C-alpha cells in the first residue's frame, strides 16, 4: 500500500462517518422540533388556563377606558365620573392616574390627578391598592354619590 491508497481509504472512511452522522443529526433535529412543539402546546394551554382563572384583565381595562373624550377639564366629581366610565368599581379593575390621563387625554399632569384621587380617597369616595403606581377604584359610597348627582341633574332639566 502506498500513500495514495491510504489517502483514498481515509477519504472513504470519512465519507462513511459523515453519512452515518447525517441521520443522527436529522433525528436529533426532528426530536428537538417535536419537543419544541410540545413545549409550545403546553405554554398555550397554560396561558389559556391562566386567562380562564384570572381573566384577561389588561385588555378588559384598556377596552373599558379607551372610550374617552379629548381634553376633559377636571374637578373631583368629573374624576369620579371618569372612574365610573372606566368601570373601575372593583379592585380587579382599578386604574392608575397615568391610565386615566392617557385614556381620556386629560390636560392635567399625572401628579395633579393623583392628588385629586388622594383627596377623593380621604373623602371615602375612592379606594386605592397599595401597589406602585397606586391603582384607584370607586367605593360603594362613590358610586352612590355619582347616582345622586346624576338624579339631581335629571330633576333640574
In this structure, which topology does domain 57-156 adopt according to CATH? Arc Repressor Mutant, subunit A (1.10.10)
Residue 155 near residue 106, CB atoms below 8 Å: no
Q: Bridge-partner residues for 96, per DSSP?
A: 135
pLDDT tens, position by position, 59-102: 444 444 444 433 434 677 888 888 888 888 888 888 988 888 88
Place of cell 379592585: 91
Q: Where are the domains of the chain?
A: 1-55, 57-156
- In this structure, the dihedral spanned by the alpha carbons of residues 34, 35, 37 and 43, taken in order and rounded to 10 degrees, is 160
Assigned C-alpha cell, 113 = 390627578
Q: What are phi and psi of 45, to 5 degrees?
A: -65, -40
Report how far residue 124's alpha carbon sits from residue 141's, in angstroms, rounded to the nearest whole number.
7
The DSSP call for residue 3 is H
- 108 torsion bin: left (phi>0), alpha (psi -120 to 50), beta (else): beta
Convert 113-139 to b/e letters by CB count within 10 Å (16 or more is b): bbebbeebbeeebbbbeeeeeebbbbb
This prediction's pTM: 0.49
pLDDT tens, position by position, 115-153: 888 888 898 999 888 878 889 999 999 888 888 887 766
Assigned C-alpha cell, 38 = 410540545
Amino acid at each position: 500500500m502506498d500513500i495514495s491508497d491510504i489517502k483514498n481509504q481515509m477519504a472513504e472512511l470519512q465519507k462513511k462517518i459523515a453519512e452515518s452522522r447525517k441521520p443522527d443529526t436529522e433525528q436529533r433535529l426532528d426530536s428537538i422540533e417535536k419537543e419544541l412543539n410540545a413545549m409550545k402546546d403546553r405554554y398555550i394551554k397554560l396561558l389559556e388556563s391562566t386567562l380562564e382563572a384570572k381573566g384577561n384583565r389588561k385588555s378588559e381595562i384598556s377596552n373599558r377606558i379607551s372610550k374617552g373624550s379629548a381634553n376633559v377639564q377636571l374637578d373631583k366629581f368629573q374624576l369620579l365620573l371618569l372612574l365610573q366610565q372606566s368601570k373601575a368599581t372593583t379592585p380587579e379593575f382599578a386604574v392608575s392616574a397615568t391610565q386615566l390621563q392617557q385614556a381620556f387625554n386629560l390636560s392635567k399632569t399625572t401628579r395633579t390627578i393623583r392628588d385629586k384621587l388622594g383627596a377623593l380617597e380621604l373623602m371615602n369616595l375612592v379606594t386605592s391598592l397599595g401597589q406602585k403606581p397606586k391603582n384607584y377604584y370607586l367605593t360603594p359610597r362613590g358610586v352612590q354619590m355619582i347616582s345622586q348627582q346624576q338624579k339631581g341633574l335629571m330633576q333640574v332639566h
